[in-house]
Structures are given as C-alpha cells and as structure tokens.
Structure 1
Amino acid sequence: MGSDARRMGECRDPGNGFSMQSLQRDWLHRPTHRQVWRLAGPMIASNLTVPLVSLVDSIVAGHLPHAEQLGAVAVGSAVYSLPVLICGFLRMGTIGFAAQAAGRTDGDTLRRVLLQALLLAGALASVILLLALPLLPSVLELMKPSAGLDGFTVTYLHVRLAGLPAALLGYALVGWYLGMQNAGMALRVTVITNAVNIAFNLILVLGLHRGVGGIALASVIGEWTGALVGLLGVSGQLRRYPGRLHASVMGRWKSWQPLLAVNRDILIRSLVLQGVFFAVTVLGARLGDGMVAANALLLNGLLVASFALDGLANAIEALTGHALGRGDPVALRRALVVAGGWSLLGGVLFAMFFALFGKVFIDLQTDIAKVRSLAYPYLPYLAALPLVAVGSYLLDGLFVGASRAREMRDSMLIAGIAFALLAAGLRPWGNHGLWLAFLGFMLVRAAAMGWTAKRIARRGEWVTAADHQAGEPAS
C-alpha cells in the first residue's frame, strides 16, 4: 500500500523529486535517451526540411532580376502562412488525444480522433478559401507595399492558395502519426512534401523561368503529394491497434467537445503567435521593401533553429501523452529532463552558429547587396533568439501532450500583450526596436509557461487533466 500511495502521489505531481540528485539520475537513464531520439531524430530531420523550403524559395527569388520579387515571396509567404500556421492546432490538438489513446491501446478512439481531425481540416480549408480572395486586397493594404511588390505578391498568392486544403490535411495526419509515436511516417510525409516542393522550384523557376508564380506552384504540388502519402499510410498504422469506428459516437456532440475545446484554445494561442510574426513583417514592410526582405532572411534563421528544436518538443508531446495515458509519472519526468538537456545544448549551438557564421547565412540567401547590408546589423538578435526561445518550445511539448491547451492560450496572451507594448514603446528605434520587442515576446512567453507548469505540478493536476480531456469512450 505504501508503494502504491507513493506512486499515486508522483502520478498526481510529475514535478515531485526535481532535486539535483534526481535530475542527474534521470539524465543518465539511457533508455529515455533512446526513446527521445527515436522520436526526435526523425522529427528534427523532418522539421529542418520546412525552413529549407523557405531558404530555397528565398535563394531562387533572391537570384531573380528584381528585389521586389524576393520581397513578394517574403510577403506572400507571410500572408499565406498566417491562416495555415494558425491552423497548426490541427496537429497540436490531435497529437495529445492520439498519444493518450495509444498509451491506453484504445483503437476505437484512435480512429475517431483521426476522422474528426480530417473532417475539421476540410471544413476549415473551405472557410478560409471562401474568405481569402475577398480579403486579400485589404490585407496587402496593411503592408502598404510598392506597386511592383503588390503585383508580384498577388500573383504568388493566387496560385499558392490552391495548396491550402492539402496543408491542413497534412497537419492533422502528422499530429496523429506523432501521437502514435510513428515519427518515421510523419517524417515521410513532411520530407516528401518538401522534397517535391524543392524539385519543382528548381524545375519551374530556374528551368522554365516561371518566376514568382512558379515558386508558388511548386509549393502547391508538394503539399498535395505529401497529403496523399499520409492518407495512404493510415490503414497500415491502424492494424497495430485493433478497433472500429462507431458511427453513433461520431454523431454525438459530446464526442466532439474535448477535441474542439482544445483546438479552440490552441487556435487562440496560434492567432496571437502568428499575429506577432505577421506584425514583424507588416512593421518591417513599412520601413521599406529592402528592410522587409532583410527581416525575412533573418527570420529564416529562426525558422531553422525552431524547427530543429521543435523535434525535441515533438518527442515530449508523444512521450507525455503516452506517459499520462499509462499513468506513469516517472517516464514523464525522465522525458522532460532528457529532452530539456538536449534542447538547451541545441539552443547554445545555434546561437554560436549565427554569431560566427551569420553573414555567410545571409549571403547564401541573396546576392542583392542592399538586402545584405540591411540584414547584417541585426544578426546579434538572431544569435540571441535560440537561447531565449528554447524554454517555450520544450514546454509547448509538455502542454500539447497533456492536452493543456487553456494554459498555453493564457501564457501566449500574456506574451502577445507584452510584444504590443514593447513594439509601441520602442517604435522610435526603428527595426532595432522591432527586434527587441520580438526578443521580449519570446522571453515573456517562456517565463509565463514555466510559471504555469510549476503551478499545475504543485496542485497535482497533470494526470487529472489528461484523464478529464480524454474524451468519451468509443463504445
């Protein structure tokens, strides 16, 4: 009875035992290292292909005749990414429920969660496409681009939006695969999407001289190819988890409530996050076409770091969900310690890379001298970002795996308010003020999430929350 009581106490508070001795013991647990890297390794490789596409887009556009074409790809990508990345809750909302169901070996719930996620992705894509074209002129007017930049941007977006349904389906599929700890399939979907994108980028733009429209079309072809690959892999994955889809449960509002509630809160969180990134683009565009292009090249560096570090967060998402599904607090604590240690090391390495080789990184992306000279002074901010942001990436994984979306939302709202205040107060400092506001946003985000995670642990609510949000049984 004493052993069971201690285990239940630990299960209610995964933060118990975080002494220096326990941290060292957890860090030296080799099976956890293998678990983390079995998931994180493929996802880091997968995630790095995402900014690689942005880099290739920038490199290809950066070698087109006019600076406005590079700016148009930067602005057009930001406009397109706004609704798509906001819908990232399709991945984040799915992974926690799928991981917890897989931890319980609940095949019925796995089928229900997948179908719900795919239906939600299709519905959201339809709504966004209906609203996108009528709202496009107003969105571009916010940026006040030059006439040449505006024309190229419209051309890019009219083609690029055709890939939006596939992008959202891909989010749902990757989240589901990660929840089942099948990082290999998630890697396959993402790599194929981006490899096809890059190949057609080179063919259509450098080979056939299709310009900005060719860059957009390459992305569309890649997104639809990846979505098809993901859908074709579902049946093989489900054979590992016997069960069936209950149509009667799918028709009940109660079966949709947990998923929709989590997705609602992650949507609000994503709106704030993408709003901050969009604000950086908008405010940069108001400083000139060259400055918005320079900021885009710098943000590509953050994308490289964040997508790599997100691979460790993806491992935490899956391991957290499985540990909570099994009621295993020791596995949860070990995963946090091991992934946290590797994340910190990764942040240091990226900071050193940008500090030492930042100019090479910028030069690789463009040969336009004006854009290069504008970007160089802001490289110290890029070097600081991985160290500032690493905590929030890791904690995202914990909250997503536990389906604690409300707390993620509240932390992001606090950080968004901080960014708005900083951006307004530092506006006289121009682009330096904009980058300082962005660094402040990342700092506040990590601090707010850390305080929230500690408060949840002290109240012993981790497993209780996961159980509460697991949803209605499928029978």
Structure 2
Amino acid sequence: MDRKIFRLAIPNIITNITVPLLGMIDIAIAGRLGSAVYIGAIALGANIFNMIYWNFGFLRMSSSGFAAQAYGARDLSEVMNVFIRSLAIGLGVGLIIVLLQYPIGELVITFIKSGPESAEHVKSYFRIVVWGAPAVLGMYAFKGWFIGMQNARIPMVIAILNNLLNILLSMVFVFGFGMKIEGIALGTVLSQLISLLAAAGLWWKYYRRLVEYVRKETVWDRQAIRQYFRVNSDIFVRTFLLTLVTTFFTFASSGMGEAILAVNALLMQFFMLFSYFMDGFAYAGEALTGRFIGSKNREYLQWMIRRIFFWGTVVSLVAVIVYLIFPSQILHIMTNDLYIIERTKDFMFWTLLIPVAGFAAFLWDGIFIGATASAQMRNAMILSSALFFACYFIMSPLWGNNGLWLSFILYLLVRGVMQTIWSRKALSF
C-alpha cells in the first residue's frame, strides 16, 4: 500500500513544487525590463488568472473522483464518459471566457488601485493570456482524469513541460525579440497551448485503446450529468469559501499596517510550503479512494486511509522540526529585510501549529474528492469558514495579529475534525 501511495504522491509533490518556480522566473524576467511597474503588472495579471481559474478547480477534482471510481469498477465505458464530459466542459468554459474577455477584463481592471501605467500593462497581459483559457481548463480535465486512472506521472511531465516552455519562450520573446510584458504573456499562452497538445498526444499514445468503449448514448446521460453538476457545485462552494478565507486573511493583514502585511506574507509561505507536500498525499488519496470505492474493496480503503494518515503525520512532524530548527534560514531565503525578519520571529509560533492543525484537512479533502462525497466536504468548509470569521471579529480586536492567526489555525483544525466525524457517512458503500 505504501508503494501505491508514494507512486502517486511523489510525482504530484514534484508537480506542486514547479508552480512557485514559474512565478519566480516570470518576476525575475519582469525585474529586468527596466521598471518596477512591470513587476507589479506581472504579479497583478497572474493573480487575476489565478482567481479565475481557481474557481474552476472542480473540473480537475470531480474528474479525478469519477474517473477513479469507474476505473476501480472496471467500467471502461464510464471511464470514457467522464473523460469526454470533463474535457468538453473544460474547453467549453474556456471558450466562454475568451468570448467574454472584454467585460471580464474591464471588471477586473476596476479592482486595480495602482497607477494608469500599471493598469495598461495589466490589460496588455490579460488580453494575450486570456486566449489560453481553453487550454488551461482543458488541462484541468486531463490532469484529473489521469490521476483518477492512477497515473500521476503524465500530469508531472505536462506540468514540467509547461513551466519549462513558459520560461524559455518568455526569455526568447523578451530578450531575443525585445518585447516587454507582451513577451512574457505570449510565452505563457503559447506554453499553455503546446502543453494541451502534449496532454492530448500522451493520452492518444497510452489510452487510445479506450476509444472502442465510447457509448454515445451514455455520455450525456441525464442522471449522470445531474450527479456531475451536483458534485461540481459543492466543490465550487468549497473552493469559493477557501479563496474567500485566504483573500480575507491578506486584506485583514493589510489593515494592521505594512509591516504586519509583510510578516504575514512571509508566514503564509510556510503554510504554502507545507501544502505542496501534503497536497501530493491528498492527490494519492483521491486516486486510491475512488479506485477502492469503485471496486467496493472496503478493506483496502481502510488500510489506505490508515497508511496515508500515518505518512501525513510523519510529514507534519518533519515540517514542525524544520520550522523549529531553521526559521531564520528560511526567512533569509525569502527576504533580506532584517527588520521584517525580526518582526516575523515574534509570530513564528503559529508556523509550528500549521502542520499539526492542517494535515487532516488536506488528507480528508483528497479522500472525500475520491469518494465524490462533495456535500460533506462543502459542509465542513462552510462551518469552518463561519468559525474563522466569527473568531476573527471577536479575537482580532483583542489580540491583533495573534487573533487573526488563531482564527486561521482553528479554521484548519475544525475542517479536519468535522471531516473526520463525517467520514463514516462519506465513505459508506
């Protein structure tokens, strides 16, 4: 069982780690264009697309859960149904975003409070990168389906290819052809389109034999579509609330002054670093849970949950030890501002609680997605988010930033506790 878990977890961890690298390279390229305005424009533009795409994460998650269950049941017709539905919806939503790019662009630009020059650069970036929306959402469908088919290597290869192409093409357009922010944007959209073609090529190479199992009369079966959108709507609510909490955390930090905003931005990197590793095990939980539920193998499902929580506990303890022993070294990697580093050390205690309080929520999310137990996952998020805001408005006036962090830790802890309580119902079959 450990081999099955790590065969899925390790490629996903590698995939997760490549994500911040790409952002760092884009910022580094923008930082050599001769003006700090370009750095801000790239950061703003990337955040706009992160906000748009994040809310369509259900395309990957539901595709993973449904595909894994069909794979476990050896229902190859349904395996193909899941693939066709997810890819068609992903490409369709991406096309709608392209068609509505003008009103979407005008809306998001109104939230930018920086100067007109920065806003113009963000517009230029948006107008080019938006053409990659079908490719991005199509790759969501591919990634979820591949994971559901117990194959984490192909998504890893695609992610690495996408990031390398993005870096290479952006450098060629910027430094080779003298383009500025448009060059970075063009490199981004071309890498997305090429990566989608690569995903399709790898699918054809390894899975084209499944074409013979396509049954046109069942692809858009009314009951299956109803179930598909029910699960996706639950995941959308869960993802929206997750985004709301993390976004509010940043806004609340900004209200405490520039120093605390910088401190919390650094502390959040400890949370993100931990999440890159824990998400790898959550993805493994998705794939294996769906597979064992599909095959109705309760014994293997319970065995897998025990082992994945064992390894989740190990990773959490390692994170606590690393954060306890090397806080200064990690902070110096992220900034050379000695004043901010010293202020951050006053709140480092919270980083030790993040792995302990948060690991169960990560793992149960993956397991619940694999089980398509979206209602329980949604309800846990609603309850924990409500607790977060209630605690913040009560504790923050009394304890300032410590009150904000206590609210966030309780939010993570309650999510995990509620999902643990509801796991018996969520995993019943």
TM range, smaller chain: 0.7 to 0.9
Cα distance change on mapping 1:64 and 1:365 into 2, 3 Å: farther
Q: Give yes or no for contact 2:173–2:179 (8 Å, CA) kept in 1.
A: yes
Q: Give yes or no for contact 1:63–1:366 (8 Å, CA) kept in 2.
A: no
Matching residue's letter, 1:443: L
Cα distance change on mapping 1:42 and 1:59 into 2, 3 Å: same
1:279 positional shift: 2.2
1:354 positional shift: 3.4
Output aligned runs, 1:327-406, within 5 Å: 327-365=296-334, 378-406=347-375
Counterpart for residue 155 of structure 2: 186
Counterpart for residue 428 of structure 2: 462
Q: Distance in 1 between matches of 2:177 and 2:18?
A: 24
Matching residue's letter, 1:49: T
Output aligned runs, 1:211-360, within 5 Å: 213-239=182-208, 241=210, 243-285=212-254, 295-360=264-329
Cα distance change on mapping 1:212 and 1:413 into 2, 3 Å: farther
1:302 positional shift: 2.7
Secondary structure at the counterpart of residue 372 of structure 2: coil
Q: Give yes or no for contact 2:62–2:228 (8 Å, CA) kept in 1.
A: yes
Secondary structure at the counterpart of residue 376 of structure 2: helix
Q: Distance in 2 between matches of 1:294 and 1:217?
A: 34
Matched, 1:447 2:413: no
Cα distance change on mapping 1:120 and 1:344 into 2, 3 Å: same
1:72 positional shift: 4.5
TM-score, normalisation: structure 2: 0.86
Q: Distance in 2 between matches of 1:198 and 1:301?
A: 25
Cα-to-partner distance string for 1:90-128 (whole Å, 9 max, x where unaligned): 111011111111112222111111010011112222344
Cα distance change on mapping 1:136 and 1:421 into 2, 3 Å: farther
Q: Distance in 2 between matches of 1:289 and 1:73?
A: 21
Counterpart for residue 12 of structure 1: none
Matched, 1:85 2:51: no
Cα distance change on mapping 1:365 and 1:204 into 2, 3 Å: farther
1:334 positional shift: 1.2
Q: Distance in 2 between matches of 1:290 and 1:214?
A: 34
Q: Distance in 1 between matches of 2:328 and 2:124?
A: 31
Matched, 1:438 2:408: yes
The farther-off stretch of 356-365 and 93-102 is 356-365
Q: Distance in 2 between matches of 1:287 and 1:63?
A: 32
Structure 1 unmatched ranges of 5 or more: 1-31, 464-475
Q: Distance in 2 between matches of 1:409 and 1:206?
A: 46
Q: Give yes or no for contact 1:74–1:296 (8 Å, CA) kept in 2.
A: no
Cα distance change on mapping 1:383 and 1:102 into 2, 3 Å: same
Cα distance change on mapping 1:331 and 1:41 into 2, 3 Å: same
Q: Distance in 2 between matches of 1:441 and 1:323?
A: 30
Matching residue's letter, 1:262: V
Matching residue's letter, 1:462: S
Cα distance change on mapping 1:420 and 1:132 into 2, 3 Å: farther
Matched, 1:409 2:378: yes
1:372 positional shift: 6.0
Structure 2 unmatched ranges of 5 or more: none
Q: Distance in 1 between matches of 2:394 and 2:90?
A: 39
Output aligned runs, 1:123-162, within 5 Å: 123-131=92-100, 133-136=102-105, 138-139=107-108, 144-145=113-114, 150=119, 153-162=122-131
How large is the RMSD of aligned CA atoms in angstroms?
3.3
Q: Distance in 2 between matches of 1:352 and 1:202?
A: 39
Q: Give yes or no for contact 2:97–2:130 (8 Å, CA) kept in 1.
A: no
Secondary structure at the counterpart of residue 182 of structure 1: coil
Output aligned runs, 1:193-204, within 5 Å: 193-200=162-169, 203=172
Matching residue's letter, 2:93: L
Cα distance change on mapping 1:215 and 1:391 into 2, 3 Å: farther
1:419 positional shift: 2.2
Q: Distance in 2 between matches of 1:190 and 1:109?
A: 26
Cα-to-partner distance string for 1:228-262 (whole Å, 9 max, x where unaligned): 21111222333565742222223442332221211
Matching residue within 60, 64, 86 for 1:95: 64
Cα distance change on mapping 1:330 and 1:62 into 2, 3 Å: farther
Q: Distance in 1 between matches of 2:19 and 2:155?
A: 13
1:295 positional shift: 4.7
1:392 positional shift: 0.8
Q: Distance in 1 between matches of 2:145 and 2:85?
A: 11
Counterpart for residue 142 of structure 2: 173
1:378 positional shift: 4.8
Cα distance change on mapping 1:338 and 1:251 into 2, 3 Å: closer
Q: Distance in 2 between matches of 1:360 and 1:106?
A: 51
Q: Distance in 2 between matches of 1:426 and 1:362?
A: 27
The farther-off stretch of 318-327 and 40-49 is 40-49
Counterpart for residue 13 of structure 2: 44
Matching residue within 85, 98, 107 for 1:116: 85
Q: Distance in 1 between matches of 2:25 and 2:187?
A: 11
1:71 positional shift: 4.8
TM-score, normalisation: structure 1: 0.79
Query: Which structure ranks higher in relative contact order (CA pairs < 8 Å, sequence separation ≥ 6)?
Result: 1
1:192 positional shift: 1.4
Q: Give yes or no for contact 1:143–1:286 (8 Å, CA) kept in 2.
A: no
Matching residue's letter, 2:243: Q
Q: Give yes or no for contact 1:67–1:290 (8 Å, CA) kept in 2.
A: no
Cα-to-partner distance string for 1:153-211 (whole Å, 9 max, x where unaligned): 44544444333322211111011011111111122122212222333455556777766
Secondary structure at the counterpart of residue 144 of structure 2: helix
Cα-to-partner distance string for 1:303-322 (whole Å, 9 max, x where unaligned): 33212211111111111111
Identical counterparts, % of pairs: 28
Q: Give yes or no for contact 1:201–1:215 (8 Å, CA) kept in 2.
A: yes
Secondary structure at the counterpart of residue 289 of structure 2: helix
